[in-house]
């Protein structure tokens, strides 16, 4: 689980928008034109554009069922 403090300073590396925690293991960019999602693996957010690119078309509901 990420701390509120860490979440507050994390930003999408592609567009620098804020991210939202989903299902305790995904960080979802809040920019509707970006929609990249970043997995949290072993407690470490994978804030890489190429990681986020993989999940652009995956809905938040689907993310909750996926294992990063």
**23 is a contact residue toward Zn ion (CB under 5 A):** no
Residue 29 C-beta: closest distance to Zn ion, Å: 3
Q: Distance between CA 52 and CA 68 in Å, rounded?
A: 11
How many residues make contact with Zn ion (CB under 5 A)? 8
Burial class of residue 23 (count of CB atoms within 10 Å of its CB; 0-12, 13-18, 19+):
middle
Cross-strand bridge partners of residue 29 = 19
| Region binding Zn ion by CB under 5 A among candidate stretches 7-15, 20-28, 37-45, 54-62 | 7-15
Binding site for Zn ion (CB under 5 A): 12, 14-15, 17, 29, 31, 34, 36
């Amino acid at each position: 689980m990420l701390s509120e403090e860490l979440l507050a300073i994390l930003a999408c590396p592609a567009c620098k928008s804020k991210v939202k925690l989903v299902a305790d293991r995904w960080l979802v960019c809040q920019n509707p034109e970006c929609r990249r999602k970043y997995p949290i693996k072993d407690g470490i957010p994978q804030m890489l554009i190429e990681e986020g690119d993989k999940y652009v078309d995956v809905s938040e509901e689907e993310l909750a069922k996926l294992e990063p």
